[in-house]
Structure 1
Amino acid sequence: MIQTVQTTAFTDQKPGTSGLRKKVRIFAQPHYAENFIQSVFDSLADFAGETLVIGGDGRYLNREVIQTAIRMAAANGFGTVLVGRGGILSTPAASHMIRLHKAYGGLILSASHNPGGPDEDFGIKYNIGNGGPAPEAITDAIYARTKTIDRYLTLDTPDVDLDRDGETLVGTTRVRVVDPVAAYADLMETLFDFPAIRAMMASGTRLSFDAMHAVTGPYATEILERRLGAAPGTVVNGTPLPDFGGHHPDPNLVHAHELHARMMAPDAPDFGAASDGDGDRNLIIGRNIFVTPSDSLALLAANAHLAPAYAKGLAGIARSMPTSQAADRVAAALGIPAYETPTGWKFFGTLLDAGLATICGEESAGTGSDHVREKDGLWAVLLWLNILAVRRQSMVEIVHDHWSLFGRNYYARHDYEGVPTAGADALMAALRAQLDTLPGTTVEGLTVTAADDFAYTDPTDGSVSLKQGVRILFDGGSRIVFRLSGTGTEGATLRLYLERYEPNDGKLDHSVAEALAPLITAAEKLASIKTHTGRTEPDVIT
């Protein structure tokens, strides 16, 4: 029998760029998760009898909230609920499952690259029927409902056995527990030249993949070791753990330092990679070379034709505004459109659905294509392996060939995490106040050619997104971008993006710090970062 539970609205349930993320202690409050899930359902229409996909990255509280979501989905009238075995579904695998089963949508329980554990982070994101994150019209409706909700619907039923494949009834709703890996792995086989990659493995190529005790462990083990023949032990930290083994599951050089050290050692493997908490981000490292996410996007786009799925060419390339302009140069060379969007994969989804873009990427280590509607860490790894198998060159050779052809975009992101919100807001307000007066001025020998607060008009539906980040552009193609991130759970995260373009003049091997030094000084002079944040240096540099 359906139960109607009276509740009181919470004031802090505004979804960010990737759903609602809060500390576990916040989500563990009575009615908190229930309120948000019911607000999602109340913001949707015509889903009676339809299919809902539910899964997560295995972090602390994942199983408990899945049981809650199953009961509420049944009480609200969904006909079928598909759940990954063990409560596990990587974000790209969830997107594929939604699309494969023509589901109405899905609930993805994850805080992505944020740490997990009883004192760490949890999150809930709703994805629509195309497999992608809900657009702003839906997330705005969800937030509006969270402010007025006074009841939610559920059932008083036993927990579903999440560890055994099969079907059971919860009320009148069919709940199917399914293999979380097989369908996704099958999809990857349709995109890439697995025989060529297997032959490369058999010839002695060595890989190292750090799953960071997060969701991609089972996926990487199945695909890399079982289907492609990489040596046993190629996948390290491959068992998903509720606290990610006490580590931060963000695939950057700070948190994946062991992988970086392994790849810089004299006996390094040929190719190294890592993925994050929910499997949608990637880190790419070759022997003795780190490939920035921005460069990786450009290199993947330039070489995508070597993989069967992209042999006929790309419709277009899309990148988030803070991502370096390296991919734009590839698009120009290929004669295809380049799209610059706000941060958030939902902005890529409309381009992919419309067939305007094929490959998309973000500087925050997310790349993907039109095979799903999320960024996809293992997809990027497999496309890199396909390129290596066909070109038969080292990572260093492939990257240097690219720079010699297109020039190099020196690039870095400086994160100031947990900054007091008032200080971060004041910094951005002060920057916006001087935008009109900056063009024509000179800072650290750099002449400002343009300055704006990035706004985006979606070419498919005309929707407008304002105040997406302050851009300061300099003569010669360099730029600085300031943006507040929506992925943290406490305070504000200020992100400073620094980019300097160097054409191929034989000077493409500066250290990144050396190349960007004038921009770093200019950013401090323009924004008074130390004054507003109280920080003398960033927490993370990527």
Structure 2
Amino acid sequence: MSVNVKTVPTTPYEGQKPGTSGLRKRVKVFQQENYTENFVQATLQAIPEPGGAKGATLVIGGDGRYYIPEALQIIAKLSAGAGVSKLIVGQNGILSTPAASNLIRKFKATGGILLTASHNPGGPNNDFGIKYNVSNGGPAPESVTNKIYEITKTIKELYIADIPKVDFTTIGSTKVGDMTIDVIDSTEDYVQLMKSIFDFDALREFFKSNPNYRILFDGMNGVTGPYGYHLFVKELGLPESSVMNFKPLADFGGGHPDPNLTYAHDLVERVEKEGIDFGAASDGDGDRNMIIGKGAFVTPSDSVAIIAHYAKAAIPYFQKNGVNGLARSMPTSQAIDLVAKQQGLEHFEVPTGWKFFGNLMDAGRCSICGEESFGTGSDHIREKDGLWAVIAWLSIIAYANKQKLATSVHDILQLHYKQYGRNFFSRYDYEEVESKGANEMVERLQGQIKSGELKGKTFGNFKIAFVDDFEYNDPIDKSVSSNQGVRIVFEDGSRVIIRLSGTGSQGATVRLYVEKYSNNAAEYDADTQKALKPLIDQALAISQLKEFTGRDTPTVIT
């Protein structure tokens, strides 16, 4: 049975250019007349051929933030108007980003529309986002996001199906004209995926043999709360006290759902105060993670390197499928490179953005990868996966305990440093700075690169070996990604990276990364900030960050 499709006139809005992470703006921006409708219509029209939107199967879900219920109804009406065949929707619109990627792949869907602004705050005065993922489960490539943007600049009409309000609260299948809407359990498919990757019997045995070993997972009132509860409480039989903030809230409980030492401070305080052995957190949409233990913080760079080191020994998925290669984003420390070299594996340095890893994975050349921005993952899906990383770490702990190597997070870190050396690493985030000053700072550095005036100069005890604006030549699709971040490498191998992030909804976020390698065992337990202070001081001098942004201190240090 067909439905009546109304043609509604509309006018374009400026600035609807999606990045790798989709379109992120304040909720009030999305609430403007036809603003959301324009972007969703453009997304549907940009779905790649063959087929496009007509006859498509789309996975729909999000991180539970404010405005999702309204956006779901808009997507349903426009999808029916575009001739979409089926929508697979998480109950109440809840789907973590990695769970959505899994569903796209499992059901061979055309793609997915994800309603998330990831780690950005939620609520009526904060952020909302819409992101399109393609058929491999990964973020849309630039060919698709550019097409979406071009359509938003000229859009004149919306094609809205005249359908009743859809009930997304009840699991089941309904028919809306020729379109089927399947509302599914948000967690079940993802939990089954995790059980196919990890040895849950070994994890249960570890906790049974170590009854006093305590873990605490912080869902940060984001989407992974129900997933964490299902995995840790229902599957592993741990007490409910093992999870905190596990109910998704539209405003994330007033918090900032970004798993780092600053925004996950309640978790950090409890781990130290209560002597909890293992702590972990995930962000609003579930693709990021933080791993800590009493007296120990695992940098994302170290985390992915340690997972790669233990992958075949501790994780059945890699015992079965092998490890085909490793990769990291350019700002991420070089710790995983050392693992690749020792294990004889191919490794890659790519720009920030998960789509670059996806290309390598689809070609069978990358199995484990990570970004320094708390994103870690593998080729089981095409997104970073916060809970996957948490369970990988628990699997490593269970394995190390069984082998009588170590049990604490701190000791596992020290074991790794003794074998590979330590890459001291930190990131300074300056959030919502005035865009003009941030851009001028980067343009000045780019000018110095072109003129060659920085090469060979000495700052403090650091002499610059080379400096560039990172460019990536994709070995799979042969695309070239330029201007991916200013990279300053010193003669001792230390690095400073400066780049602007596109994940904020307003202003600019300046990210300053510093890295120093040491193979001196006496330094392995040193405080990161103290070890890096001389390099950080020179990084601030070279970038003139304070002069251009007016900021004395960063918003977040990780």
Q: TM-score, normalised by structure 1?
A: 0.99
1:144 Cα shift? 1.0
Cα distance in structure 2, aligned partners of 1:366 and 1:490: 22
Q: Does 1:81 align with 2:97?
A: no
Alignment partner, residue 39 of structure 1: 42
Amino acid at match of 1:153: Y
Amino acid at match of 1:284: I
Cα distance in structure 2, aligned partners of 1:4 and 1:288: 61
Cα distance in structure 2, aligned partners of 1:420 and 1:507: 38
1:506 Cα shift? 2.5
Q: Does 1:277 align with 2:284?
A: yes
Q: TM-score, normalised by structure 2?
A: 0.96
Of 242, 255, 262, which aligns to 2:263?
Answer: 255
Q: What are the within-5 Å matches in structure 2 for residues 90-169 of structure 1?
A: 90-169=96-175
Q: Give SS of 1:311's match.
A: helix
Cα distance in structure 2, aligned partners of 1:509 and 1:371: 34
Alignment partner, residue 9 of structure 1: 12
Q: Does 1:367 align with 2:340?
A: no
Alignment partner, residue 500 of structure 1: 516
Of 215, 219, 229, which aligns to 2:227?
Answer: 219
Of 529, 541, 554, which aligns to 1:525?
Answer: 541
1:265-298 C-alpha deviation (Å, 9 max, x unpaired): 2x42221100000000001012221101111011
Of 289, 293, 298, which aligns to 2:300?
Answer: 293
Amino acid at match of 1:175: I
1:369-394 C-alpha deviation (Å, 9 max, x unpaired): 00000000000001111111111022
Contact 1:212 1:236 in 2 (8 A): yes
Cα distance in structure 1, aligned partners of 2:374 and 2:165: 36
Cα distance in structure 2, aligned partners of 1:269 and 1:523: 36
1:164-206 C-alpha deviation (Å, 9 max, x unpaired): 1111122210011001100100000010010010111223121
Of 342, 362, 366, which aligns to 1:333?
Answer: 342
Q: What are the within-5 Å matches in structure 2 for residues 301-450 of structure 1?
A: 301-305=308-312, 306-311=314-319, 313-392=322-401, 393=406, 394-435=408-449, 436-450=452-466
Contact 1:54 1:107 in 2 (8 A): yes
Cα distance in structure 1, aligned partners of 2:183 and 2:529: 49
Alignment partner, residue 186 of structure 1: 192
Cα distance in structure 2, aligned partners of 1:283 and 1:470: 26
Alignment partner, residue 78 of structure 2: 72
Q: Does 1:489 align with 2:479?
A: no
Alignment partner, residue 479 of structure 2: 463
1:249 Cα shift? 0.3
Cα distance in structure 1, aligned partners of 2:92 and 2:241: 23
Cα distance in structure 2, aligned partners of 1:449 and 1:70: 55
Contact 2:6 2:160 in 1 (8 A): yes
Amino acid at match of 1:217: G
Moved over 4 A (4+): none
Q: Give SS of 1:277's match.
A: coil
Contact 1:75 1:153 in 2 (8 A): yes
Cα distance in structure 2, aligned partners of 1:396 and 1:416: 29
Cα distance in structure 2, aligned partners of 1:411 and 1:264: 22
Q: Give SS of 1:253's match.
A: coil
Contact 1:107 1:124 in 2 (8 A): yes
Alignment partner, residue 18 of structure 1: 21
1:204-227 C-alpha deviation (Å, 9 max, x unpaired): 121100000100011011111111
Cα distance in structure 1, aligned partners of 2:10 and 2:172: 34
Amino acid at match of 2:172: G
Over the matched positions of the two proteins, sequence identity in percent amounts to 52
Q: Give SS of 1:59's match.
A: coil
Contact 2:132 2:139 in 1 (8 A): yes
Q: Give SS of 1:383's match.
A: helix
1:1-40 C-alpha deviation (Å, 9 max, x unpaired): 0111110001110112300000000001010011011111
1:382-440 C-alpha deviation (Å, 9 max, x unpaired): 11111111110221111100001111111111011111111011000001111222121
1:509 Cα shift? 2.1
Contact 1:75 1:171 in 2 (8 A): no
Q: Give SS of 1:107's match.
A: strand
1:504 Cα shift? 3.6
Contact 1:407 1:501 in 2 (8 A): yes
Amino acid at match of 1:273: A
The number of residue pairs the alignment matches comes to 541
Q: Does 1:198 align with 2:186?
A: no
Alignment partner, residue 240 of structure 1: 248
Q: Give SS of 2:39's match.
A: helix
Contact 1:250 1:276 in 2 (8 A): yes
Q: Does 1:208 align with 2:222?
A: no
Cα distance in structure 2, aligned partners of 1:390 and 1:418: 43
Cα distance in structure 2, aligned partners of 1:156 and 1:189: 42
Contact 1:209 1:234 in 2 (8 A): yes
Amino acid at match of 2:202: A
1:138 Cα shift? 0.8
Q: Where in structure 2 are there 5+ consecutive unaligned residues?
A: none
Amino acid at match of 1:202: K
Cα distance in structure 1, aligned partners of 2:20 and 2:143: 13
Contact 2:20 2:140 in 1 (8 A): no
Contact 1:168 1:174 in 2 (8 A): yes
1:231 Cα shift? 1.5
Cα distance in structure 1, aligned partners of 2:392 and 2:173: 35
1:454-488 C-alpha deviation (Å, 9 max, x unpaired): 00011101000000000000112111000000000
Amino acid at match of 1:206: R
